[in-house]
Amino acid sequence: MNGPTQLLIGGKFQDAQSGRTFPTINPATEKVIAHVAEADAADIDAAVKAARTAFSRHWRRMEARERAKLLWRIGDLIMQNADELGALETMDNGKPIFESRYIDIPSAAETFYYYSGWCTKIEGETIPVPGDFFNYTLREPYGVCGIITPWNFPLLMVAWKLAPALACGNTAVVKIAEETPLTGLRLGQLCQEAGLPDGVVNVVPGFGETAGRALVAHPHVEKISFTGSTAVGKEIMRTAADSLKKVSLELGGKSPNIVFADSDLDAAAKGAFNAIFYGKGEVCNAGSRLFVEKEIHDDLLEKLVQRAARLTPGDPMDPKTRLGALVSKTQMDRVLDYVETGKREGAVPILPGGRAGTRGYFVKPTIFDSADQSMKIAQEEIFGPVLTVLTFETTDELVEKANSTIYGLAAAVWTRDIAKAHRLAGELQAGTVWINAYNMLSPQSPFGGYKQSGYGRELGRHGIDLYTQVKSVWVSLA
Ligand code: NAD
């Protein structure tokens, strides 16, 4: 492991002021990969100071086209180092190298390329107000943005936030997840290599209760962008309330994936498989509730179980592996606990799952059939390769059930009836709806949650709104 393990503050990699470190573990081998510097409130303060100075001295004064070139260069450097970044991500998170090297890392680069284009296109408006006045708006950066990310897409989640924040002229302090700090630190190094002025990007691994909380509470952080669990999202809002910080939140989900009898069943079965087992099910928009129209229930499940039974966890570094290790022992225990809960609640484990092997946090795919709406496994986010199957007979009943969790991140509909598909797209309470598809995402299209899945929309032009504030300027023409 050659990547950086220290905090990046003001352009320099350095130890935490306390001198403390924490181990980061390869979940496939349970071995320590590296000891990483552990930021606490003192380091967060230093990072915010560096970001503040970089904002006022350099970044906000830089020509937008220069910023654009730097963002593009970051995208290039990510791609030039994609093999290394992919390997780091897989070692740290346990996801298959196929996913990290060919999906996560290129998607992170794409996000920087996309927002590079936005640097020169952030504009205000002129407004025809009454009287002898000229009124116009300016769209300005906030200043220092605090970015807090989870462990499931460690590099990509940083890219989703950092690229638009920088494009809009903000500087950043990035508190990466304690389970998976390695690619975020390497990205910090690539930002320096790309030529960003010192302090524009600061990367501070550490724990949520200490480093994360200090960042949210810091008086000179103007905005917090967070992706993680709904519980922590609420905690962040409470802490941010004291300083009335702007907050955007991307939180959990329990997304319904709906298959009608008139769909292409092979495509739907494949879609349902990918919806829950891609990324080990540790995906915020995982299709963890499969709603199946009653008359095709047996046919669809036969196809799905056939596929899922062949999916065995394997060495995440092997390019052929499609199911890796869960990120940590805590996460594995949590998922296995939900499997026991499902059995206790009376759902039928038609694919029983369970831990695979004794070394590494590998969990086999689990499918629960005959689940009931009121069960925990139908309401709570499990965040693992566990699917809950529910059956429906009418569309009204389906919509009511599909909308009946606290979440609203994503949903999918499989049908050949175009009118029905679009009608449902309107009725489902979700920030993203896929029709005859699942897991499609692009930096060009907005992403975010309804209800307790968060608020604010990342990506696309909506991402620009998250990292800018609007100023109205009045000029007397008298
Ligand atoms: P988490 O909420 O436990 O942690 C996320 C981040 O918040 C970590 O960096 C953590 O250190 C930090 N944190 C924890 N407590 C904090 C506090 N009090 N103040 C400030 N920061 C704090 O989530 P996780 O377990 O890392 O990730 C899994 C969750 O993330 C799932 O619920 C998943 O659905 C969600 N997620 C959502 C999206 C989305 O876009 N909606 C994407 C990925 C993951």
Q: Tens digit of pLDDT per residue, the chain (478 long)? A: 789 999 999 999 999 999 999 999 999 999 999 999 999 999 999 999 999 999 999 999 999 999 999 999 999 999 999 999 999 999 999 999 999 999 999 999 999 999 999 999 999 999 999 999 999 999 999 999 999 999 999 999 999 999 999 999 999 999 999 999 999 999 999 999 999 999 999 999 999 999 999 999 999 999 999 999 999 999 999 999 999 999 999 999 999 999 999 999 999 999 999 999 999 999 999 999 999 999 999 999 999 999 999 999 999 999 999 999 999 999 999 999 999 999 999 999 999 999 999 999 999 999 999 999 999 999 999 999 999 999 999 999 999 999 999 999 999 999 999 999 999 999 999 999 999 999 999 999 999 999 999 999 999 999 999 999 999 999 999 9
Q: How far is the CA of 177 from the centre of ligand 1 (A)?
A: 8
Helix/strand/coil (H, E, C) string of the chain?
CCCCCCEEECCEEECCCCCCEEEEEECCCCEEEEEEECECHHHHHHHHHHHHHHHHHHHCCCCHHHHHHHHHHHHHHHHHCHHHHHHHHHHHHCCCHHHHHHHHHHHHHHHHHHHHHHHHHCCCCEECCCCCEEEEEEEEECCEEEEECCCCCHHHHHHHHHHHHHHCCCEEEEECCCCCCHHHHHHHHHHHHHCCCCCCEEECCECHHHHHHHHHHCCCCCEEEEECCHHHHHHHHHHHHCCCCEEEEECCCCCEEEECCCCCHHHHHHHHHHHHHHHHHCCCCCCCEEEEEHHHHHHHHHHHHHHHHHCCCCCCCCCCCCCCCCCCHHHHHHHHHHHHHHHHHCCEEEEECCECCCCCCCECCEEEECCCCCCHHHHCCCCCCEEEEEEECCHHHHHHHHCCCCCCCEEEEECCCHHHHHHHHHHCCCCEEEECCCCCCCCCCCECCCHHHEECCECHHHHHHHCEEEEEEEEECC
For ligand 1, whether the C-beta of 213 sits within 6 Å is yes
Place of tokens 């002898």: 132
For ligand 1, whether the C-beta of 412 sits within 6 Å is no
Q: How far is the CA of 259 from the centre of ligand 1 (A)?
A: 30
What local confidence, expressed as pLDDT, does residue 110 receive?
98
Q: How far is the CA of 147 from the centre of ligand 1 (A)?
A: 11
Instruction: Report all structural domains of the chain as residue ranges with CATH numbers, in order of start.
Output: 7-251+453-475 (3.40.605.10), 256-442 (3.40.309.10)
For ligand 1, whether the C-beta of 228 sits within 6 Å is yes
Q: How far is CA 412 from CA 8, 165, 250, 288, in A?
A: 40, 30, 19, 11
The answer, as to whether pTM is greater than 0.85, is: yes
CB atoms within 10 A of CB 451: 18
Contacts (Cβ under 8 Å, ≥6 apart) of 230? 251, 252, 381, 406, 407, 452, 453, 454
Q: How far is the CA of 178 from the centre of ligand 1 (A)?
A: 10
Which residue among the candidates 38, 284, 293, 381 is catalytic per the annotation?
A: 284
Find how far residue 364's CA is from the centre of its chain.
23
For ligand 1, whether the C-beta of 382 sits within 6 Å is no
Mutate to test the pocket of ligand 1, among 36, 152, 285 (most ligand atoms within 8 A of CB): 152
Catalytic: 293? no
Place of tokens 């389906």: 398
For ligand 1, whether the C-beta of 227 sits within 6 Å is yes
Which residue among the candidates 250, 293, 381, 458 is catalytic per the annotation?
A: 250
Residue 151 Cα: closest atom of ligand 1? 26
Catalytic: 84? no
Residue 409 Cα: closest atom of ligand 1? 41
For ligand 1, whether the C-beta of 169 sits within 6 Å is no
Residue 177 Cα: closest atom of ligand 1? 9
* CA–CA separation, 382 and 254 (whole Å): 8
Helix 64-80 and helix 182-194: axis angle, to 10°?
A: 130
Residue 449 Cα: closest atom of ligand 1? 41
Mutate to test the pocket of ligand 1, among 227, 232, 239, 457 (most ligand atoms within 8 A of CB): 232
Q: How far is the CA of 128 from the centre of ligand 1 (A)?
A: 44
For ligand 1, whether the C-beta of 177 sits within 6 Å is yes
For ligand 1, whether the C-beta of 232 sits within 6 Å is yes
